[in-house]
Amino acid sequence: MYNNLYTEINTRRQKVLEGINILLSLFSTTKQQRIFPRKIMISKTRGQITVYSTEQMMQAFEDADFMDCRINAYPTFLNEAEERDYENGINLDIFAPNILFIDLDLKDFSSKSELDNVLRKILKHISSILYGSNPLLLWSGNGYHVIVPVKATTALERFEDFKGLSDRPSSEFLQFAKYFLSFSKADKANNPAFKSCLLRVPYTLNPNVL
């Protein structure tokens, strides 16, 4: 009995580590993002916590029994000075919009078949617009998460075309992309933002489908 339990826990640990590495590899594609420090969220915390290594992240997930574990799609600030610089228009490229996120919730569709049909259209749409993109598709138990890495290393705030239109075009682009790429089929309750774009870690447990 105990051997079987140990094997099950060890297998889960290995799969979750694989899931972590899948997400981290997206963030580091073409060196677009630094990996750490980064915010994560687990079922045992009311908000996000900062981690500085894969080992620290893995320990937090294991302490939560791998329940409802998420990683922010964007890095956090190194310190308060860097955050102040960002607010003053310095180092804006920290948050170039290079991870796009679409949440498709099964409850918004009449059937799983309809959901799958819409998903195929969305993926075709993405491939026609973002040539060479390779979205990561995850099934949460209640729907699909479509995570789209794009080659963007510069914040939209740096482009003259956006000046005068928005104070935070990079942030607004995340929500525009969600609706545009999904034909407005994405979950309306999920509003991507740099500080709250939390991605469920593959192979962790979703309490809503247990």
Domain total of the chain? 1
Range of the domain at 108: 2-204
Provide the pLDDT for residue 2: 45
Q: Is residue 153 a part of any domain in this protein?
A: yes
Percentage of the chain with pLDDT > 70?
A: 95
Q: Which residue has the higher pLDDT, 116 or 152?
A: 116
What is the pLDDT at residue 32?
80
As to burial, measured by CB atoms within 10 angstroms (0-12 exposed, 13-18 middle, 19+ buried), residue 19 is buried
Q: How confident is the model at residue 209 (pLDDT cuts 50, 70, 90)?
A: confident
Is residue 178 a contact partner of residue 100, using CB atoms and an 8 Å limit?
yes
**What percent of the chain lies above the pLDDT cut of 90?**
74
Would residue 20 count as lying in a domain? yes
- Would you say residue 210 lies in a domain? no
Residue 6 pLDDT grade (very low, low, confident, very high; cuts 50, 70, 90): low
111 pLDDT more than 50? yes
Bridge partners, residue 71, by sequence: 40, 199
Contact call for residues 187 and 105 (beta carbons, < 8 A): yes
Is 185 a member of any domain? yes
Residue 27 and residue 188: Cα distance in Å, rounded?
25
In the structure encoding, which two tokens stand for residue 177, read together?
């992309």
Q: Which residues have CB under 8 Å from 121's CB, separation 6+?
A: 183
Residue 209 lies in a domain: no
The answer to the question of residue 93 being in a domain is yes
